[in-house]
Amino acid sequence: MRIYPWPGQSALANALAPALADLDARTAALALHAFPDGETLVEVEPPAAGGDALIACTLDHPDARTVPLLLAARTLRELGAARVGLVAPYLAYMRQDRRFRPGQALSARGYAALLAAHFDGLVTVDPHLHRIRDLAEVYPIPVRVVHAAPALAAWIRDHVRDPLVIGPDGESAQWAADVAARAAAPLIVLNKQRLGDADVRVSVPDLARWPGRTPVLIDDIISSGRTAAAALAHLRAAGTLPPVCVAVHGLFAGDAYHELLEAGAARVVTTTSVAHAAAQIDIGALIAAGVRDLWRAPDAANPEIRP
Ligand code: R5P
């Protein structure tokens, strides 16, 4: 197996290669050249004849990445790769999972169709599954979903004394409940209303039952940060200890990271699915387990990857 790190993302591929020594994995070069007119030239180190190729590319900022990514996959196949896989710790476009207004794109399905046309398999971490219950509903290729909950819970156990886990909305309840159980912490789930990209309202129940606990806001994604900021404002007004924000994927649009710190977060911490100063929770070993499982039994029915 040759693992191709996306330019600027070598940490993931460098962690995967030694962890997958049993698959004879080693890293290989993938380079991009940006032409002045906005097109991109993709160049890959040819794979071993009949060998497998795995591109390691997390998919924040997906619009700029996707065309070169598809070209890279196609090129590897043309050059003789037997199987071309994708490890994308953050999988883009999963939140637009229905037409909220007639005429809107069903982005989750459309994006899945694009990737599935070029890759033989996909490994990702906690994709945003809400109205789509299972990634296999939209990805007609073998997929493995890696769950970060054990890593998030371990981080909370190690860094937060007497945590109170808080999910900011019903969609987060699935992750928050899993993390709370693993961290042996109580859980509350807030109600959220999103009125626009940057207009989020949440309601916080009476917190008097949890004196002395440190609120830990858990979400799958921090994007604009408005969800976490709205929850932080309520928690600070309720006089809690300074809350900690923990998420699987930190996209941090604009200056969201610093805005959350300014809004009163004691810390903002994410997994390494997207590179950022907040990405303190290493999930490389979990991802390697997902890749190994996919490679060894690609046709197994999407088993859950948990340690
Ligand atoms: C919502 O469906 C997700 O679970 C997150 O709560 C949401 O994506 C966070 O977005 P933002 O940071 O833009 O409020």
pLDDT in tens, 194-241: 888 878 888 877 788 888 999 999 999 999 999 999 999 989 988 999
CA proximity to 12, closest of 130, 123, 145: 123
CB of 222 closer than 6 angstroms to any ligand 1 atom = yes
**What are residue 171's phi and psi, to 5 degrees?**
-65, -30
268: CA distance to ligand 1 center in Å?
15
Q: Is 255 exposed, middle or buried (0-12, 13-18, 19+ CB in 10 A)?
A: exposed
Taking only the tens place, the pLDDT of each residue in 36-92 is 999 999 999 999 989 999 999 999 999 999 999 999 999 999 999 999 999 999 999
Task: Locate the ligand 1 atom nearest the alpha carbon of residue 222 and give its number.
Answer: 12
151: CA distance to ligand 1 center in Å?
20
Domains of the chain: 2-147+283-305 (3.40.50.2020), 149-281 (3.40.50.2020)
Name the least confident of 51-65, 156-170, 183-197, 251-265: 183-197
Give the mean model confidence (pLDDT) for residues 150-172. 95
CB of 220 closer than 6 angstroms to any ligand 1 atom = yes
Give the number of other CB atoms < 10 A from CB of residue 96: 17
Q: Supply the pTM of this predicted model.
A: 0.94
Query: Who's near 283: CB < 8 A, 6+ residues apart?
Result: 89, 125, 146, 148, 151, 271, 272, 273
CB of 259 closer than 6 angstroms to any ligand 1 atom = no
CB of 221 closer than 6 angstroms to any ligand 1 atom = yes
Give the mean model confidence (pLDDT) for residues 272-298. 95
